[in-house]
Structure 1
Amino acid sequence: MAGAAASATVVVAATRAGPVPGVVLPGGPLGLWRAADAGRPAWSVLALAGIAVLSLAFVLLYLLARDRVVDVRYVARAAAVWTAPVLPAQPLLSLDAYSYVAQGRLLVMGIDPYVTGPIVFGPGPLLDPVAPIWRMTPAPYGPLSLSLLGWAAGLTGADHVTFVLLLRALALAAVVVATVAAARLARPDARAVAVALVAANPIVVLHLVGGVHLDVVIAALAPVVLLAARRRLWWLAALAAAAAFAIKLPGLILVGYVLWARFRRPERRWAGTAAALAMTAAVTLAAAAAVPDGWGWIATLDTPGRVELLYTVPAALAGLAYGVLGPTVGGVSFGELLDWSRLLCAAAGAALIGVLIVRGGDPSTPVRRAGVLVGGALVVLALAAPVIHAWYLSWAVALLAACAGSVGHRRLIALSVALCFSALPDPLTRWHHGLLPLTLLLLAVTLAVTFWWLAGARTPGDRPGSTRHQDITSAML
């Protein structure tokens, strides 16, 4: 049971490795969330190894499902076993959940989270676990997200442990919805593959469920939107898309797809589009009315971009430009190039997203092709953004798992594995610990093995049910 052992290793090791400096986490049930007093770099390396093993187990499970060695039930059981160790754990590989607690508490107290950050609480249990970079920033989430956080904070009294476990239960339910919807969208002979790519994906196991990120709601609603549109349940498609938008900005892509797809339908074109638009507006306005300053989040959408990550597409382009212009032209800083690169990526990304939505909403486009196009638009949004986190890939994971072909699946797997190494315990990402080269080396090795396995053709002896496949299954899963 390598997958379960790997996820359990990540839970224990990431917990013992501890948070970034300046953060004090709650002890958790029976003190199990406390960091180690010493040896944190070693615990970080162990967590890194666990992420690598879980990623490779995921690749192998996909291959077994693709070759029809295992069925949907087997894949679902494997995913459940891999997910079980994270259920009682602290929020994994991210401190966002503690920001959720503080933002929910602000709303309960009648303070606008779109105006101020958790810093208003001052030093204490609500502020201390929040990442220092987010303590003074307002919430960048939609009003439906804030309503959910306020409800959870009111129900749990903003107690960290019960708040996290409650949101994790909701995240787990959303993963189940996303998995079932992906299986319904996929071809009958590819349902095991779809389940593997969603439920057993380390992005889902470690970040959506383990990290308790609100992006899981987008992951669940995206395939629901496509299923409803395929069955011409436009009211349901519009409702789900608008709810996704009220959770977080990526939902706007789903809204655009629904309205365009409905408009392109010849039957009752104007009346039907108006009805879908009315449903979208009703849900959006109701969500905005449920919190103070319900449109305030539009002004805070630049909050995530305040973090400068060097592995984003805009940063890579800026680095390339700086490497060329610095020695030749001079007089330009990396920061200036990064600002221009972000603008360029935003403009190009918006144009590409528009093209993908238009093509996806064409009535002649098969439903699974539309799923690939809409899922591709969500991936473009994640890649073109000023900052990218592992859980951003979840916006499109169910659509691509259900609708993409083998090439699309390989790209999804490669992105999933690579992004899993973008959220790590602090000692692994700092040069002064001397562990960053090890992180990059293990990432390169894991990706190399991933590409090797995905590119390898099945030999005649590797037919479904062969002894070789059965041996691999029992050894790795």
Structure 2
Amino acid sequence: MIAITSPRATLVAGAVASVTVAVSVTLAGPIPGVILPDGPLGLWRAADTGRPAWSVLAIVAITGLSLAFVRLYLLARDGVVDVRWVARTAAAWTAPVLLAQPILSLDAYSYVAQGQLLNVGIDPYLTGPIVFGAGPLLDPVAPVWRMTPAPYGPLSLRLLGWSADVTDAEPVPFVLLLRVLAIVAVLIATIAAVRLARPDARAATVALVAANPIVVLHLVGGVHLDVLVGALAPVVLLAVRRRWWSLAALAAAIAFALKLPGLVLVGYVLWARFRQPDRRLAGTARVLAVTVAVTLVAAAAVPDGWGWIAALDTPGKVDALYTVPAALAAVVYAGTALTTDFGALLDGSRLVCAAAGAVLIGWLLVRGGHPSAPVRRAGALVGAALVVLALAAPVIHAWYLAWALALLAACAGLAGQRGLIALSVALCFTALPDPLTRWHHGLLPLTLVLLVVALLVTFRWLSSVHAPSPRHHDVTSAML
């Protein structure tokens, strides 16, 4: 293995990779048809030439950060570094993206426009940013989302409206404000995950959450609302563990009012309370009452509080070939000797995956809510249910892993943590600068090669067994 017992080298390598990603993604520029703001001190301007080269540098750096993350996890798992060292490393890796443009996604600009739609009295659940016309609100939004309604819950929309109001709908301060909220959410998720984790696994848990490239690049760097659901998930589990049922119902209902995955948490809390023998019906009714009350209050926070239900199909309007439904449709399509319409197969595959996913999620929640299930086993099962929801969906993005990240980091065993790491690394290759994802640029083969290399190295490192020596602890203590 490559110097896997060098904490300082791991910290520096990840920090260099993070800086390189932030710079190269910025210089690689956005997709065609998008005009981004210059950003603070002009730091968000794309390069005039050489954008494919900057894209190549970006994916090399993403690969480097992903492998540095694996190394950091191994150092923490084997007791070479402690929680403080891992936290400092995560901070060093996150710092380079704090003033960068939204990394590898334009969703933050959709957030600005949707928040401003709400503020000017236009229903974001019925129309898209296109109503603003060409200008600073529409130009940075991805063309595919300019005419689509918002698929987020009423609390998300209210948060976006408040943020747009505070920042006068200026994209740069808006992005920086949401980034601060994302950092707070990551801190909450990390602290809650540490409280759930075994004492000897806390350093590894911090590595899996705070230093995860999904968190660094997408939740903080990319500024996605999914981080809020991810922060509430371990809070729900902790509340259930302590039998604080009203708090658990409150947190779960808030998560649902933010984004649909919160419904999994609502189902878990209701079932866990129902399975408790003491005052079963009365207790469950109280939890249900809190859930309904929070949901109704959230729906009243915006003029069309239930409009988001009809807009939930918005993300699925983009066809992504790396999803589970698309892969299943492709297998069937290849087996039918190209005589079947692929679009029809894809629609059928999505229905099958949705139905199978619903059944599997229900089974996981039933097991997780059993009174005899230890808290970490329950957390692993609920986290798995959230992963199933992401995988069964018509489209999956890297930041969807946020829903389950803290739960799985704290509660999964070594095998589960390895799966979480592999999924984190793989999903890092699903959001890249445009030239890396199109055949006509000639760079897609490079993306696939680096993905395979990253996964092979990851599995090789994770399969290793390393016994820390006292010397390793002494070196780490000296560095601290």
TM-score tier after normalising by the smaller chain length: over 0.9
Q: Which residue, 38, 50, 62 being the options, matches 1:27?
A: 38
TM-score between both structures, scaled by the size of structure 1? 0.96
**Cα distance in 2, alignment partners of residues 254 and 456 from structure 1:** 35
Tell me the distance in 2 between the aligned counterparts of 1:436 and 1:426. Answer: 10
Task: Name the SS for the 2:14 alignment partner.
Answer: helix
1:84: which partner in 2? 95
User: Which one-letter code corresponds to 1:42 in the other structure?
Assistant: A
In the TM superposition, what are the counterparts of 1:40-439 in structure 2 within 5 Å?
40-326=51-337, 330=339, 332-439=340-447
Q: Retained in 1: the 8 A contact 2:80–2:472?
A: no
- Looking at structure 2, the residues matched to 41 and 188 of structure 1 have their Cα atoms a distance apart, in angstroms, of 46
Listed one character per residue, the Cα deviations across residues 222-281 of structure 1 (whole Å, up to 9, x for unaligned) are: 000000000000000000000000000000000000000001101111111111111111
Alpha carbons 2:21, 2:58 under 8 Å: kept: yes
What is the alpha-carbon distance in structure 1 between the residues aligned to residue 437 and residue 55 of structure 2?
10
Q: Please tell me whether the aligned partners of residues 389 and 422 of structure 1 are also in contact (alpha carbons under 8 angstroms).
A: yes
Deviation at 1:469, TM superposition (A): 11
Partner of 1:463: 468
Q: What letter corresponds to residue 315 of structure 1 in structure 2?
A: A
Can you give the 5+ residue segments of structure 1 that lack an aligned partner in the other structure?
A: none
Q: Note the C-alpha offset of 1:430.
A: 1.1
Amino acid at match of 1:433: H
Answer yes or no: is 1:443 the counterpart of 2:451.
yes
* Superimposed CA distance per residue, residues 27-62 of structure 1 (whole angstroms, 9 cap, x where no aligned partner): 001111010000000000111011011000100000
Letter in 2 for 1:367: V
TM-score by length of 2: 0.96
Secondary structure, in 3 states, of the residue corresponding to 1:326?
coil
Deviations 1:323-346 (A, max 9, x none): 00125xx2x111111010000000
Give, in angstroms, the shift of residue 467 of structure 1: 5.5
Report if aligned partners of 2:79, 2:473 keep a CA contact under 8 Å in 1: no
Contact 1:314 1:342 in 2 (8 A): yes
Helix, strand or coil at the partner of 2:333:
helix
Amino acid at match of 1:5: V
Distance 2:17 2:469 in 1: 26
Show structure 1 runs of 4+ deviating over 3 A: 464-471
Residues of 2 paired with 1:469 and 1:381: CA distance? 44
Would the alpha carbon gap of residues 402 and 123 (structure 1) be closer, same or farther in structure 2, given more than 3 Å must change? same
Q: Which runs of 5+ in 2 are unaligned?
A: 1-11
Whole-Å separation in 2 of the counterparts to 1:407 and 1:395: 19
Question: Alignment partner of 2:349: what SS?
Answer: helix
Native 8 Å contact 1:64 1:469 kept in 2: no
State the percentage of identical aligned residues.
Answer: 75
Q: d(CA) in 2 for partners of 1:96 and 1:464?
A: 46
2:86 touches 2:203 (CA, 8 Å); kept in 1?
A: yes
Once the 2 structures are TM-superposed, how far is the Cα of residue 465 of structure 1 from its aligned partner? 4.1
- Deviation of 1:14 after TM superposition, in Å, equals 0.2
C-alpha distance in structure 1 between counterparts of 2:455 and 2:214, whole Å: 15
Question: CA RMSD for the aligned pairs?
Answer: 1.4
CA contact (8 A) 2:28 2:51 kept: yes
* Distance of aligned partners of 1:157 and 1:445 in 2 relative to their CA distance in 1, 3 Å threshold: same
